[in-house]
A and B are shown apart, each in its own frame.
Chain A
Amino acid sequence: MSGCERAGGAAWEVGYVVPSQSDAKVIVYEPQLCTGCRYCEVACAVWHCGRIDVAQSRIRILFDEARTAERYSAVNCQHCDDPICCAVCPPEALHKDEKTGWVMQNSSKCVGCEMCIVACPLSVPFFDAALNVAVKCDFCFGAPECVKHCSSGALRVVAREDAVRFNERLFLSAKEEQ
């Protein structure tokens, strides 16, 4: 099957409210709560492509049985403050939305140089061979499907400041303790 069309329609059609600057939101992932059900992947793929094809999912859950601690992890867009993907994009197809804080992509500007895929440390964007462009998380224009379908509450939408604190605690302080 070629092409990847959003099942729900555009943001204005499905009636999502685009938040203002004051309540810019980010998705956080808490590995301790994740059960590895991968409903988020399915929900993401269905919303973005209209079919259950987790290869098309913008979020990715990793599970490693061999590890003792932190057996779950997620590859999800952090919607960075200063996104590396936007910095390296030659045609400036990626931009940080001033209003909402989301890192959005203009597919018609994308030339498929894969620079964002290369530069993102998480390699969040991936190349969609059917569309010939890189695709990435678009926050579902305000109501992320992955969060809606996360039954364990591992994925949450929080305010940007809280997300920064949360990630600091999770990744920076823990690292120093080790």
Chain B
Amino acid sequence: MGIQATRIYRFDASGCNGCDIEVLEILALVPVAELGVEIVETPKEANVLLVTGGSNLKSKGELESAYAAIQEPRLVIAVGSCGATMGIFKGGYAMTGPIDAIVPVDLYIMGCPPRPQVILGALADALQLKVEGLETLLHTPQGFRGDPHVDQGKCIGCGACANVCPADAIEIVESGTERLVRFMRKDCIFCASCQEVCPTEAVELHAGDKAWFRKKDASMSEARLQRRPCLVCGTPFLPDAQMNWAMNRAEEKLELGTGDRSKLQRSLNICMQCRRNSIGEVREAKSLLASLASRASGSGARS
């Protein structure tokens, strides 16, 4: 065992009690006493602080003193999304969290609330406990969702997922000629909105459910995309893959002549700013649209 005689002190930092109930559920999963873990009644006896909730004005001081009271080496485990982000309480007038703003957190267990299996898995990982059959317990039950994974090959970097994500868990980072789509572990609520809207079905919520991590800004999955430089101003604007996708889709659904196709291809190489701000480009675009319109009406007149 990593830590001699693990003694856990549970601290409810103004949570909704959802996580507390899930922590209790562990008792139904495994014989906790046999694992060499003890739940203690006062922080003085403990060396592990298991915190639920996101901390508010009333619990902040208590949490600080509980942390000061536990024995070294102090191990703080934040259970539930509140620990990392304050979860559903984010922005509340009385909130003083997240937990890591008050005491250093060693392990975050995500979920609102996390499944007891996940909490057990995280505890086993952090405290080096041997739990039999943990792998099967960790597998998400059928019909439930696990972590989102983005397929680098399929992702076109359009950002629809980031736009619809209710928890703001998807970051779009523009760095130089690259666009990075990052699925942040700490914010994800596993709602599958990203999977729902993805035009290329690049996002999938896997059955895997290893929802604990040590670094707060860890990402579950990310896609790296090359951005296309603008033909006119030269600055990289949107991902190559997105432009190609738009072009393929347009070719698929519309009847484009060779001239129109090359014109459309050209316009896809120009950034929105240049397209909208230069009279020359507007003229090019309008002539393309005019030729498409006259083709459509012309063929109608002839038939």
A residues engaging B (CB < 8 A)?
60, 62, 64, 67, 70-75, 78, 80-82, 84, 87-88, 90-91, 111-115, 117-119, 121-123, 126, 132, 160-161, 163-164, 167-168, 170-172, 175
Closest to A71 in B: B279
Chain A residues with CB under 8 Å of B289's CB are: 78, 80, 121-122, 167
Decide: B250 and A121 in contact? CB cutoff 8 A.
no
Interface residue ranges, B against A (CB under 8 Å): 158-160, 163-164, 197, 199, 238, 242-243, 245-246, 249-250, 252-255, 263-264, 267-268, 272, 275-279, 282-294, 296-297
Q: Which residue of B lies closest to A74 (CB)?
A: B282
B242 touching A118, Cβ below 8 Å: yes
The answer to whether B264 and A84 have CB atoms under 8 Å apart is: yes
24 A-B pairs within 8 Å (CB atoms) are namely A75-B282, A80-B292, A80-B293, A81-B293, A82-B292, A88-B253, A90-B197, A111-B163, A113-B158, A113-B160, A113-B197, A115-B249, A117-B272, A118-B272, A119-B249, A119-B268, A121-B264, A122-B285, A122-B286, A164-B290, A167-B290, A171-B286, A171-B290, A172-B290
CB proximity of B182 to chain A, nearest CB, Å: 17
A115: which of B164, B246, B264, B276 is its contact (CB, 8 Å)?
B246
Q: Which A residues lie within 8 Å of B294 (CB)?
A: 164, 167-168, 172
On whether the beta carbons of B197 and A78 are closer than 8 Å, the reply is no
Residues in A neighbouring B160, C-beta threshold 8 A? 90, 111-113
Q: Which 10 A-B pairs have the closest CB atoms?
A: A90-B199, A112-B163, A113-B160, A121-B285, A87-B253, A171-B287, A167-B290, A81-B296, A113-B158, A121-B267
**Using Cβ atoms and an 8 Å threshold, which residues of chain A touch B238?**
114, 118
Give the Cβ gap from A161 to chain B, nearest Cβ, in Å: 7
Q: How far is the CB of B230 from chain A (nearest CB, A)?
A: 12
Report the nearest A residue to B288, measured CB to CB.
Answer: A121
Give the distance in Å from the alpha carbon of A126 to the alpha carbon of B222 in the complex: 27
Q: Which residues of chain A are within 8 angstroms of B272 by Cβ–Cβ distance?
A: 117-118, 123, 126
Shortest Cβ gap from A81 to chain B (Å):
4
Contact status B163-A62, CB under 8 Å: no
Question: Once the chains bind, are A121 and B275 in contact (CB under 8 Å)?
Answer: yes
The chain B residue sitting closest to A114, CB to CB, is B158
- In the bound complex, CA of A113 to CA of B197 (Å): 9
Chain B residues, CB < 8 A from A74: 282
Partner of B246 from A72, A118, A126 at Cβ < 8 Å: A118
Which residues of the partner chain B approach A90 to less than 8 Å between Cβ atoms? 160, 197, 199
Q: Are A115 and B250 in contact (CB under 8 A)?
A: no
Contacts of B264 in A (CB 8 A): 84, 121
- B253: chain A residues within 8 A (beta carbon): 87-88
Q: Quote the shortest CB–CB distance from A155 to chain B (angstroms).
A: 14
Q: Which residues of A contact B163 (CB under 8 A)?
A: 111-113, 132
Residues of B within 8 A of A70 (CB): 279, 283
> Which A residues are in CB contact (< 8 Å) with B275?
121-123
Distance A154 CA – B155 CA, assembled complex (angstroms): 44
Contacts A88-B250, A90-B160, A111-B160; A172 near B291 (Cβ below 8 A) = yes
